[in-house]
Structure 1
């Protein structure tokens, strides 16, 4: 494995435990999606791998070497796009990308060629020579992505790179992420967009309160769920919410929507029940879909949140 993390713990002053006995690994050519609520410890983890923060306990091995003991090696081996916007005041996207490529050791010709490739691949050529202070948030984010990957290290870490980016260019960015993996890089991408991650990553790690709540491929995480279907009902305004049948799983009601998790074996009676509700105008409409990775993610973090609150109480 290119990156091996074992029993990593980071405790900040006043006892804030950002990472708690965390272990994971990433191989060459793999895209790992790192999911978790705000404050789950994702950014702290990346900063430790990059040699920017020293762990309290545990070990990190990047290609067999310790990035904490050798931060200069970590800077060479890692490419990191920070969560915060890159400072682009006074420079254009083309200049910023080329400067970072040269700082990371790329030749002038190689960096120029790679810069033009990225600008074209992300469809941002028209802003290539625009001063940074005049760019939108999405173009600034895309520029920061290019700065991180123009001369990539063996490990590329991207902290919420799609924030503020429009849907079309988000898709183009994910294509470039996959290309990095095809070229042999290991990629860790922090994101809150679970739907996009499901389509684009090889494996997922869900962090919650600093520890690993779940890990696996999207298919493996689905198999761990207690149900594999969800029945979504749009409630009729002014009508009392229907009582879920005994065969139904967990039901969640928000505003005019009820979502019920069910097993695939109960699908026929779920449809029949929903059709009956629709016929009596108790609901406006219904839909039965496979459970999504977002449903599983929310279930994992909600359960952990409840456990955490109970312990605190």
Structure 2
């Protein structure tokens, strides 16, 4: 099998009712066995792109080759090789977790004993044991997403596409999911990951593409992209809920309000000392503050001119 999983060239997807293309001239190479991330805000075109990669949506123009096969001429190739977990998950309402996970494994060619063993492993890892007698229609959103992730991963399809796999999950189980995603790639599967959890995903991704308005802003390894703004330091501040006096923030003209009591200041390394000196007299107004190096979301913020990835 080719070392190149996807070869995407000049991909355009337009809708008659839209003024601008959902995907506008996308060209990407995705390698076999890597965890490849698609990052960007809502409306960036990420989900439209992965639906085309899964053979569910026909491009307006451009080409998609999967392991050398032209998906436009032979979309059945994607059906045989790709497992997709869409952002809006759907599972049969009357099924139970073990049933749907194990059955999917058998449909993908696992012998019955192997399908049962793999299903049990997912049930154990994802904390589903206490919910095995519940039907999908009464499970919480987070539990349904865990079942959907197990359904997508079982059988180790050559291509695994996960659209927001950690939405609705608590931090502990998110860590379990990220570890399983890395393990899936180590077995040789190519994992394409769409996520808003940028800081967590950064530890999992081999390469990443940052998208906005249907176009690619940047592509590379996390280290390569972070090197673009490697001199910048994050000063994160959380003001006290009972603090009405935020005038001290006027000392920081470029401060960003992240919502509620959270504020962010991006600093050059030689600005950190003076910024802390300005902040120290106002510690009584702060619940917390910390200094950290920049992450992938900061890179996106700089490239896009102000939008945040997180929705």
TM (norm. structure 2) is: 0.87
Aligned residue for 2:185?
181
The separation in 2 between residues aligned to 1:231 and 1:93, in whole angstroms, is 44
Q: Deviations over 1:233-263 (max 9, x none)?
A: 5566335245447xx8x43356665532211
Q: How does 1:160-175 map to 2 (within 5 A)?
A: 160-175=164-179
Partner residue in 1 for 2:223:
219
SS of the residue corresponding to residue 176 of structure 1 reads helix
2:247 aligned with 1:240 = yes
**Rounded Cα–Cα distance in structure 2 between residues aligned with 1:239 and 1:113:** 57
- Provide closer, same or farther for how the CA distance between residues 239 and 14 of structure 1 changes in structure 2, counting only shifts above 3 A: closer
Matched ranges for 1:245-284 at <5 A: 250-253=254-257, 258-275=263-280, 277-278=281-282
Structure 1 counterpart of 2:291, from 288, 293, 296:
288
Which of 18, 27, 32 is matched with 1:23 structurally?
A: 27
Deviation at 1:94, TM superposition (A): 0.9
1:11 corresponds to which of 2, 9, 14:
14
Deviation at residue 298 of structure 1 after TM alignment: 3.2
* Deviation of 1:91 (Å): 1.0
The whole-number CA distance in structure 1 between the counterparts of 2:68 and 2:36 is 19
Structure 1 residue 3, shift from structure 2 partner: 1.2
Alpha-carbon offset, residue 142 of structure 1: 0.7
Rounded Cα–Cα distance in structure 2 between residues aligned with 1:95 and 1:298: 43
1:143 aligns with 2:150: no
SS in 1 for 2:10: strand
Distance 1:256 1:147, change over 3 A: closer
Tell me the matched-pair count: 300
For residues 72-91 of structure 1, what are the structure 2 equivalents within 5 Å?
A: 72-91=76-95
CA distance in 2, matches of 1:304, 1:130: 40
Matched, 1:51 2:55: yes
CA-to-aligned-CA distance 1:41-64 (integer Å, 9 cap, x gap): 111111111111111111111101
CA-CA distance at 1:284 after TM superposition: 7.4
Residues 242 and 98 of structure 1: CA distance in aligned 2, closer, same or farther (over 3 Å): closer
Query: Do the aligned partners of residues 132 and 167 (structure 1) sit closer, same or farther apart at CA in structure 2, a change above 3 Å counting?
Result: same
Any stretches of 5+ residues in structure 1 without a counterpart?
306-313
Return structure 1 stretches of 4+ with deviation > 6 angstroms: 281-285
| 1:184-195 mapped onto 2 (5 Å cutoff) | 184-195=188-199
Supply the distance in 2 between the matched residues of 1:129 and 1:258 (Cα, whole angstroms). 45
Q: Which 5+ residue runs of structure 2 have no aligned equivalent?
A: none
Change (3 A) 1:266 1:67: same
Normalised to the residue count of structure 1, the TM-score between the two structures is: 0.86
Counterpart-to-counterpart distance in 2, 1:136 and 1:25: 37
